[in-house]
Amino acid sequence: MEVLSVRTLRFLAPTGVVLLAFALAMLLARFGQNDAASGAGRGAIVAPRQRPDGGVEGVVLPAPRFGPDEVVELQLTGLANQKQPAVGILQCYYFASPANLAVIGTLDAFGRLVRRPPYHVLSNPRAWLVGTPRINGRTARVTATIVDASGRLHCFAFLLERQSTQPYLDCWMTDSVLPVGENDPTPPVSARPQGDS
């Protein structure tokens, strides 16, 4: 029985680290730190303003210089763009792999998909945390944990592939995004008690 409990603890350890990091980020945010300093939230990651040839203002195009975790951060930043939601959807769409787009289809279909459950929580997060990529050759898995507007935690696995053909040669792009543990209800992140200053 002791071996089982050690295995269980090893299995749950990454989740505990994520929860601890979120608790710290939320605590810092509540005590007046800006989002960028806490490393969490909608404002923490701002897509660079650039206008590549044929590109859209504020949209970053795939490039080999972006690692898998940076691609996920750019996509989450795009989806969380409340000021320009169409540009945000386009940002996320640009980093979807050709194989992914062959299944999803048009930009309109992609937009409808990411605005429906379970992906709708990506559009209005209170905070997020992107994990360290697990790279295996030309594929990678990046776990992103989201705190939604209600304070509930959601976890998604981004599966990415380094592309082997032009025009995206050596660019990391997302093949799929899968909800993790959505059947396990998570309690909301507790709010600071009323009356505390």
SS3 track for 53-96: CCCCCCCCCCCCCCCHHHHHHHHHHHHCCCCCHHHHHHHHHHCE
pLDDT band for position 189 (50/70/90)? very low
pLDDT of 114 > 60? The answer is: yes
Residue entry with tokens 């898995």: 141
Which comes out higher in pLDDT, residue 91 or 22?
91
In this prediction, residues 23-29 reach a mean pLDDT of: 43
Q: What is the pTM of this model?
A: 0.65
pLDDT given for residue 186 in this prediction? 45
Closest CA to 141 of 77, 194, 67: 67
Which comes out higher in pLDDT, residue 196 or 66?
66
d(CA 137, CA 165) in angstroms, rounded, equals 16
pLDDT given for residue 42 in this prediction? 33
pLDDT of 53 > 60? The answer is: no
Residue entry with tokens 């945010």: 29
pLDDT of 50 > 90? The answer is: no
First and final CA of the chain: distance in angstroms? 46
